[in-house]
Structure 1
Amino acid sequence: MLPKITVDDGTCLGPHECGLCMKLCPMTVFIAGHTKVWKFRETDPKDYRVYARYYDQCVMCNKCVEACPVSAITITADEVASAAELLAEPMAEQPASLS
């Protein structure tokens, strides 16, 4: 099950002022991307924002959520079982081999 990672652009301080989510994520889910591209001009640092580009790599450790000083990141998923819950379940019996 893939998580849905939302970064609130109105609240997020941006990669140049903060960037803790990008630094702390063990799976490198977040990247900094620019919102405007001007030919032959330097991009203003305020025009960058944080994207959850590699959300399919997220292991839902919540380090980014806990580290965000302005609570701009939310992670949700439907019916997610933790690793401990999955390990606690008994293994399904394998069907008898066809002879």
Structure 2
Amino acid sequence: MARIQLKEIAHARSGDKGQKTNISLIFYEQGMYEKAEEKVTADRIEAHFSHITDGDVERYDLPQIGAFNFVINQTRPLGVAASLDFDAHGKSLSWHLLEMEIEV
């Protein structure tokens, strides 16, 4: 098995609403979606983003399009307007997800 970063097999989009961040992870090939199904779990995403949230993570499976949608709760205390983060809107958090490594 080899370790690869998600950016090698997928692309992502992210955004936020209030205290939640939404990240979609879309695989380039259906076969990679199936291989990542057991490896890119809500628990792994929660650990990967633990530096910005104490909330839980929900994963929604979209097998028809080979994608996952993650909702990361409590990423922006008091909402985006109160955040002092450099990227207050969370648009770059998709890149943080794509840097995560998995074994394939």
Normalised by the length of structure 2, the TM-score is: 0.32
Normalised by the length of structure 1, the TM-score is: 0.33
Bigger Rg, structure 1 or 2: 1
